Chain A
């Protein structure tokens, strides 16, 4: 019996044969069919396949044709794809290129602008550019070529890939200052797709919005489920994401997936009106807590659709828990957010204490995950891998660093980060709890609190930031004092026009601390 083939591009390859005329990708104002993309992917894969040694192909591209052709061609050739972030500074790009030992690097127009002499010198022997972007090779033996000019014969079909081969490496923020590369196997992704297929039920008629950069693993969900269904993927620019209504309506999207911050932005500008998006049949939110009010406002705007809150770390293949918005919603009472629900049937969730022992039922603890979606580990970081991926009772678990609990109905709740717990003058405080009260008092979802200033690991106070609130800071403080002990009410509240976001669109607490450190908070306040 032949071994099962886990090549990630197989479902895509099938569509290029069975529905070559169907549109697969709409990006930067153009549309590409499965057939057109299949030709371009097979052509690029033909150049990649003979060069594979590390089996890693870098993608210095996002929200572009090059990004998607690069990803699919890497998969088609049997390599792992490795998205590199276009927002990384030169020094970090160089360091990661040196560590990754890529076989090739696929670059789009914006990526080409980042190919400084130092970056190009650290780049692999094959660098593939978009048409019209000329660059000189940095050294003998390095080939820098426009994609269309590659003269290798196309690779007719995806090559056989084993379940334990690395499928992709996606970087997440690391506490040590450098990002961690999470290695997901082709087999893990196969399990993920199998479990996600039955509740997303994508079909060839679906028009799926892509709001994220390919460095964020929500794009893994969109791309591979889209290709399997023969649906179309509609890629937004980052600019369009700031005011997405026009895009969703003009592309008549049927599926939406993004971080919940997008809802906050739209509510703030008054854009999120009831019945605004009749075409959406499903909206999926992920990546940060989903305030119940925000979910309900989105549901009102999508009268023909459901709203799903999904949860999971990159280390367990996109997500592995899900809660559908119901009426009334299943909420996490202390936080006013939608619960994270129940795990995929193949995944097991543990709520563990500091010694990795299960806590008593209902008690809070660290969320740990076990099952076929657990990652191989962090690229080149065996110690960090051993620290976060543990053998417990003979099985391999990933410790998420998220705090959670399981209620009597078997529904799981997210209670914040293990490391967002702070002590202020000896009092234990969860910043998320403060934020929940702050949201209510400020009448805005766009809030964040940090412990500051911190000396010797102990905070002297809390400082909050609020965007989109009509209330004066003093009035917000007074309202908070009505529901919180004084030690949990921030000493200062700064109103900003907007909250800084990290590369994945989440509120960047570190940037807020930096603002305070630099003494610019009052100046930046609106």
Chain B
């Protein structure tokens, strides 16, 4: 998995979930997705599953900091660091 394709897959999934939940208007790379309530826990699970599959993040790691996945920029940063 290349970085570019992993980023594209996750970004597309996040935008699709926002649309599905009726979010209108543009979303910037630095907008809060989860703390803002735009996305719910179901969506968070989906993002985690994608990251697990695409870049092998380890959810069993007790120090895994999920709060660093709140914006598209943060998610892409994580992917960049791993791939």
What residues of chain A have their CB less than 8 Å away from a CB belonging to chain B? Answer: 28, 86-87, 109-110, 113, 237-243, 245-246, 249, 269-271, 273, 276, 497-498, 500-501, 505
B60 touches A246 (CB 8 A): no
B34 touches A500 (CB 8 A): no
How distant is the Cα of A513 from the Cα of B35 in the complex, in angstroms? 29
B66 touches A271 (CB 8 A): no
Q: A246's contact among B37, B63, B70, by CB below 8 Å, is which?
A: B63
Q: A498's contact among B45, B64, B69, by CB below 8 Å, is which?
A: B45
A243 touches B48 (CB 8 A): yes
A246 touches B59 (CB 8 A): no
Interface 0/1 of B51-83, CB less than 8 Å to A: 000000001111111110110000000000000
Centre residue among A113, A245, A249 by max chain B CB count within 10 A: A245
How distant is the Cα of A241 from the Cα of B42 in the complex, in angstroms? 12
Q: In the complex, what residue of chain A is closest to B50 when comparing beta carbons?
A: A497
A246 touches B65 (CB 8 A): yes
Q: In the complex, what residue of chain B is closest to A241 when comparing beta carbons?
A: B41
Q: B69's contact among A28, A239, A241, by CB below 8 Å, is which?
A: A239
Least CB distance from B61 to A in Å reads 8
How distant is the Cα of A276 from the Cα of B67 in the complex, in angstroms? 20
User: Which A residues lie within 8 Å of B70 (CB)?
Assistant: 239
A239 touches B34 (CB 8 A): yes
Q: B34's contact among A237, A246, A269, by CB below 8 Å, is which?
A: A237
User: Which B residues lie within 8 Å of A113 (CB)?
Assistant: 36-37
Centre residue among A239, A240, A242, A269 by max chain B CB count within 10 A: A239
How distant is the Cα of A240 from the Cα of B34 in the complex, in angstroms? 10
A273 touches B62 (CB 8 A): yes
Q: Which 5 A-B pairs have the closest CB atoms?
A: A270-B60, A269-B59, A239-B34, A245-B62, A498-B45
Further 14 A-B residue pairs, CB within 8 A, beyond A110-B37, A238-B44: A86-B37, A87-B37, A110-B35, A238-B40, A240-B67, A242-B66, A243-B48, A245-B64, A246-B65, A246-B66, A249-B62, A271-B60, A271-B61, A273-B62
Interface 0/1 of B11-48, CB less than 8 Å to A: 00000000000000000000000111100111011101
User: Which B residues lie within 8 Å of A245 (CB)?
Assistant: 62-64
How distant is the Cα of A364 from the Cα of B38 in the complex, in angstroms? 44
User: Which B residues lie within 8 Å of A87 (CB)?
Assistant: 37, 40
User: Which A residues lie within 8 Å of B8 (CB)?
Assistant: none
